[in-house]
Amino acid sequence: MASLKCWSPAQRVTLFSGIAIAALLAGNVLRACPFCLSPPMTLVEEIAASDIVVIAELLKVEVVHAGAVGIPQSTVRIREFLQGSELSNKFGRLQAGQPIVVRQEIAGVPGDLFLLFGSVPASRVSTSTESTFAANTDDATLNLTGESNATGNNDGIVTADLKTTESASQRVQRTSFLIPELISWDLSAPVSLEAIRYIRNAPGQSIPQVHRLPYYLKFLENPDPLLSIDAWAEFANATYEDVKAVKAQMPREQLRQWIADPTTTPERLGLYGMMLGLCGNADDAAFLEKQIGAVPPTGRDDKEFFRYGTDGLMGGYLLLTGEDGVAFLEQTRLKPDVPTDSVYAAVQAIQFVWSYESSLIPQSRLKSSMRRLLSNSDQRILTITNLARWKDWESWPELERLFRHECADDRATQRAIVQFAEECRKATSVDGSPLEFAAAATTFLAQAEVDHPALFRSTNNAEFQGP
């Protein structure tokens, strides 16, 4: 995908608004980091999802010629089981010290270690050639200190191509004996001894997440990307309440250093901003305000480009400042002529507080801030969607005015207003009686359907999934 810097503001707001609206319509899913992109599976999850996971050592890489065709293959030796050892112990066909021949070229030098994920395809029918496996070798006793007691001659390695055409039921029966040739292997990047220790010591999935997160704090910026990405994914996959519960253990000073680093990636910047908001103090609030900036970036040069992840800084800032922080965002972002990216970041921060910290700032204050964006054509549809979700029926008079005047030729915005009216007309007071705004919305819908029949047909179409 091309860099978001190359996208026009209109393209970016279309992308982000579409994602946000889809999330809003799907319901309020309280993920840990609302400012992170979708995180990958964690190593613990990947290991748990695999039938077999081993630490393997590269022995050699060669090209085997079949006629005029050269087929790369790599020979590795199992050093340790991380998953599936019970299968090995039960059937004895797969053991530590056993060489494996993998039909691909593994980038590395002999002695490199890496993870090997294996799955037993018990339910699919295949007529292709499966990956090959080597026979047991009893002369290899290995440890993970970097030393090997293997003879080094690779004797006993047997490669075999096994073509299968049996039915699914036959395949299940065969794999129940752990026939090595039926295992499909996926390779990961090489792993260091530190990474192996990290995986070994990682708390298991059965341990509550709130007790697992402290382990990963110290690896968030580890020089090994395998560790730092996995540690970030653990936080991004946790619930917000679990992340909040470990705020006393968060490294405040380090968070500030990481946030100030211009090379910090957007998903990390957003997470770190939120974390600093959870564990910080007044000095950290001033720091975040400076990082956000009183003047939005214009994008005129490299130094002025919007920094993706700023929405997380704003979210953390609101955690520390409450209503005063909302006023700052109104004065600097929620006003005319502010670049779309900066406005949208502020909207995300306000949505975050509404969804995750509903008692922090009065809801009436957040509604008032959101209404300011009804005059912003780029943000209007997303704003209407938020106001409907927040049941801000008091904004109906302004929406009706927009429908009839500024947005008279804007079919998309009119559809959003019609959908708002459909929800508003159902609104009742505490005693169950219809609200004044509900009656007004009902009257509007009856007349608008007469005046704009085509609009109502498109709005009520079953394929239409939101404004």
Strands 52-66 and 113-119, by their bridges, are antiparallel
- Phi, psi at 53, each rounded to 5°: -135, 130
Query: Max Cα separation, the chain?
Result: 88
The pLDDT tens digits of the residues spanning 252-265 come to 999 999 999 999 99
Element holding 29 (H helix, E strand): none
- Given a contact cutoff of 8 angstroms between Cβ atoms, the answer to whether 235 and 243 are in contact is yes
For residue 140, what are its two tokens? Answer: 């290899």
Q: Which residue, 31, 77, 24, 33, is CA-closest to 54? A: 77
- Phi, psi at 308, each rounded to 5°: -65, 135
For residue 202, what are its two tokens? Answer: 């990682």
CA dihedral sign of residues 397, 402, 404, 410: negative
> Which residues 6+ apart lie within 8 Å of 218 measured at CB?
none
The pLDDT tens digits of the residues spanning 169-226 come to 343 343 444 455 567 778 777 899 999 999 999 998 889 999 999 999 999 999 999 9
What is the predicted pLDDT for the residue at 88? 67
- Given a contact cutoff of 8 angstroms between Cβ atoms, the answer to whether 325 and 363 are in contact is no
Strand partners, 64: 71
The pLDDT tens digits of the residues spanning 63-98 come to 887 777 888 888 889 999 998 887 666 656 678 888
What is the predicted pLDDT for the residue at 258? 98
Q: Which residue, 53, 109, 54, 100, is CA-closest to 73? A: 100
CA dihedral sign of residues 283, 285, 286, 290: positive
For residue 420, what are its two tokens? Answer: 């708002």
What is the layout of strands, in order, in the sheet containing 113-119? 99-102, 69-83, 52-66, 113-119, 184-190
What is the predicted pLDDT for the residue at 203? 94
**246: three-class secondary structure by DSSP:** coil
Q: CA torsion angle for 206, 207, 209, 215 (degrees, to 10)?
A: -130
What is the predicted pLDDT for the residue at 302? 56
For residue 412, what are its two tokens? Answer: 């998309």
> Which residues 6+ apart lie within 8 Å of 353 measured at CB?
315, 318, 319, 360, 361, 366
Element holding 65 (H helix, E strand): strand 52-66
What is the predicted pLDDT for the residue at 459? 65
Q: Which DSSP symbol is given to 148?
A: B
E strands in 84-122: 99-102, 113-119
Report the alpha-carbon distance of residue 360 to residue 244 in Å, rounded: 14
Residues in the chain, pLDDT under 50:
1-29, 123-143, 145-178, 461-467
For residue 31, the tally of other CB atoms under 10 A from its CB is: 18
Q: Which residue, 297, 341, 349, is CA-closest to 325? A: 349
- Given a contact cutoff of 8 angstroms between Cβ atoms, the answer to whether 419 and 459 are in contact is yes
**186: three-class secondary structure by DSSP:** strand
What is the predicted pLDDT for the residue at 277? 98
Element holding 292 (H helix, E strand): helix 282-292
